[in-house]
Homo-oligomer: A and B are copies of this chain.
């Protein structure tokens, strides 16, 4: 079970509202390699992970990714703050505004709704952990792309933090492969 604490894993600031950037950040909210995908993948895999240490790891990282999902959600909301219909049209995100106003939804920047087809689980420990390592590598690429696509230093700081966490998670999944008895 989970307990919610009313503070973010790490504070989130933005320099000024930027609806276009908000839309791009949805890659990490509702995209195939975003925080929701990671959280749901790890929390699902743990049910078939017999090794206790690795199962604990999946729960820990999955729970942290839920916290990242929240951070990204807050960041997007700040970037959409005070968005008027007129601004929505001018900034090119009226297509999102008409269905969700200045709110969030589990979509990628192109508007595709999130699907569990993005996720990997076959119930074989090595294959599943390798899938997680690959997901973390793809997720970091998205973070790096986002960093080059914005000039907002506050947003960049948060993205760098999240990218660093992904590196830590990758290292722990590498350890998990060793624990499972295969270092490849």
Contact = CB atoms under 8 A, between A and B. Distances in A.
A20 interface: yes
A8 B59 CA distance: 13
A97 B5 CA distance: 35
B103 A109 contact: no
Tallying the copies of this chain within the complex gives: 6
A136 B149 CA distance: 33
A122 B106 contact: no
A14 interface: no
A1 to B, nearest CB: 4
Interface residues of A, dominant DSSP: helix
Contact of A145 (B3, B98, B108, B134): B98
Contact of A122 (B1, B77, B101, B121): B101
B116 A105 contact: yes
The 4 closest A-B pairs by CB, nearest first: A110-B111, A101-B123, A48-B103, A103-B123
Given A44-B104, A89-B149, 15 more contacts: A1-B66, A4-B59, A24-B95, A44-B73, A48-B104, A96-B110, A98-B109, A99-B142, A114-B116, A115-B117, A120-B138, A122-B142, A124-B144, A127-B137, A127-B141
20 contacts: A1-B7, A1-B9, A1-B66, A2-B2, A2-B63, A4-B60, A4-B63, A24-B95, A31-B99, A47-B73, A85-B145, A97-B145, A98-B109, A98-B145, A99-B109, A99-B145, A112-B113, A124-B137, A127-B141, A130-B130
Interface of A: 1-5, 7-9, 20, 23-24, 27, 30-33, 36, 40, 43-45, 47-48, 59-60, 63, 66-67, 70, 73-74, 76-77, 85, 88-89, 92, 94-124, 126-127, 130-131, 133-134, 137-138, 140-142, 144-146, 148-149, 174, 184
